[in-house]
Amino acid sequence: MNIGVVVFPGSNCDHDCQHVFRDVFGQDVSMVWHKEASLAGLDAVVLPGGFSYGDYLRTGAIARFSPVMQAVKRFAAEGGLVLGICNGFQILLEAGLLPGAMLRNQSLHFICRETYVKVENAATPFTNVCKSGQVLKIPIAHADGNYYTDPVTSASLQANAQVVFRYCTADGTVTPESCPNGSLDNIAGIRNAEGNVLGLMPHPERCAEAMMGNDDGRAIFLSMITSCERKQSVGVR
């Protein structure tokens, strides 16, 4: 599998994503500078976490205009897998590849800690090795992760099973207290209607190998690899 990790000025989780795909899973990884206009030859693209363009104006608002984002839009429209983690999720929202917007965390604090998320939809290319309802422990690190969308969009997210991850307790109960940032409906990650674009606030690349003390994040990368291998075996991208 060929994975492209996009590097914006201010990305800081790009090398962690590269490390996980390349060193933990043995995949081919290219770093894609934000000025690139083509994603030819890639099976999946990751928009990593960080603080692209210093979070100026709004998180992800400026990164959306990077030349590479036109290529990411085309890539997504052609069915390529796109994963946005944290700031990558914020960029996908600003670019309109996913619905909704991020507000400042309800507490106003930058929150960096472990969270539990429940896999609400295990039939996606990003969660296919998970069981429905499985609980993953994955850390968050953000100040703007308070997901918001209007009631009509929220209803359509529900109806189309686009909510992929919800913050929950360790035993998988979705409660207001288990939501770290005030996110609507405890939303931690959503996919697009077509199912090939996922954005999530937690950082699976920070917990993808046993030596980190937690490898729950592996499931997301392994799902993507599994999904690509299945597609290749039937001859489509």
Partner 1 sequence: MKAKIHVTLKQGILDPQGKAIEHALDSLGFKNASNVRVGKYMELDLKETDKAKAEVAVKSMCEKLLANTIIEEYRYELSA
Q: Report which DSSP code applies to 210.
A: G
To the nearest whole angstrom, how small is the minimum distance from the Cβ of residue 71 to partner 1?
Answer: 20
Residue whose tokens read 């390529």: 80
Which of 54-62, 124-132, 158-166, 203-211 is the region at the interface with partner 1 (rule: CB under 8 A)? 54-62
The pair of structure tokens assigned to 145 is 């992760």
- Catalytic option among 13, 86, 168, 207: 86
Q: Is 111 a binder of partner 1 (CB under 8 A)?
A: no
Residue whose tokens read 């500078």: 33
Instruction: Return the beta strands (E) in 8-142 as ranges.
Output: 28-33, 44-47, 81-85, 101-103, 111-119, 135-142
Q: Which of 67, 70, 74, 106 binds partner 1 (CB under 8 A)?
A: 106
* Number of residues near partner 1 (by CB under 8 A): 16
Q: Which residues in the 180-209 window bind partner 1 by CB under 8 A?
A: 182
Is 194 known to be catalytic? Answer: no
CB 131 within 8 A of CB 122: yes
Largest CA distance in the chain: 48
Who's near 155: CB < 8 A, 6+ residues apart?
Answer: none
Is 34 known to be catalytic? Answer: no
Spatial separation of the C-alpha atoms in residues 34 and 32, rounded to whole Å: 6
Residue whose tokens read 């090939």: 196
Q: Which of 40, 108, 159, 236 binds partner 1 (CB under 8 A)?
A: 108
Q: Position 100: which residue type?
A: G
Report the residue number, 149 or 196, with the smaller CB distance to partner 1: 149
- Catalytic option among 36, 94, 120, 205: 205
CB 39 within 8 A of CB 45: yes
Q: Is 73 a binder of partner 1 (CB under 8 A)?
A: no
Q: Is 105 a binder of partner 1 (CB under 8 A)?
A: yes
- For residues 139 to 158, the per-residue mask of contacts with partner 1, x marking binding by CB under 8 A and - elsewhere, is ---------xxx--------
Interface ranges with partner 1 (CB under 8 A): 57-58, 61, 94, 100-101, 103-108, 148-150, 182
